[in-house]
Amino acid sequence: MKRATEKPSKPRAKAQKGSPERREPREAPGAPAAPATPAGAQESPAVVAFLRELDHPRKEAIVALRHIILGVSPAIREEIKWNAPSFRTTEHFATFNLRAKDRVRLILHLGAKVKDTAAKGLEIADPAGLLEWLAKDRCLVTFSDGEDVQAKQAALESVLRAWLRWL
């Protein structure tokens, strides 16, 4: 029985029966294999497990985006924060928003604490028009599917490199 004070649940990876060591990632028939982890990237076992259990129609695009982000710099680390894969160097700078099922959203930010840049804003070159600014120091990047991720990969890598300079 739920208590009246409990908060509504957030989207989570669905648990499967059996021990984690025996489970394999679920892939759609005919889906391409996940790309190898970029050289120098620090994979998090928690993120690997989260993605293995994730039940999301755009999972292929999520995995592809994760590899792109990790490939931008060997200083990038990943973890689960805010119930989704999140990426950091000295501060967290990118976090997936997995609530939408028809697209993949990536929030770019400058950590959890407000900084001077919140008032001044960031100057990020965005010739491809990827960024939807939510605040002066926070934006949203949206992808429709895996093909969209591939098409925008170079532009996203450029935006991420510029974003990291602000950390």
Q: In the structure encoding, which two tokens stand for residue 9, read together?
A: 């649940």
* Reported confidence tier of residue 25, pLDDT bands at 50, 70, 90: very low
> In sequence order, what are the residues at sequence separation of 6 or more whose Cβ sits closer than 8 angstroms to the Cβ of residue 24?
52
Distance between first and last Cα of the chain: 45
Angle between helices 59-72 and 45-53 (to 10 degrees): 160
How do residues 30-76 score in pLDDT, each as one tens digit? 433 344 455 556 789 999 999 999 999 999 999 999 999 999 999 99
- What does the pLDDT read at residue 117? 60
Contact 62, 98 (CB under 8 A): yes
Q: In which order are the strands placed within the sheet that holds 104-108?
A: 77-81, 84-88, 92-97, 104-108, 138-143, 132-135
Say what percent of the chain tops pLDDT 90: 62
How do residues 26-41 score in pLDDT, each as one tens digit? 333 343 334 445 555 6
* Reported confidence tier of residue 119, pLDDT bands at 50, 70, 90: low
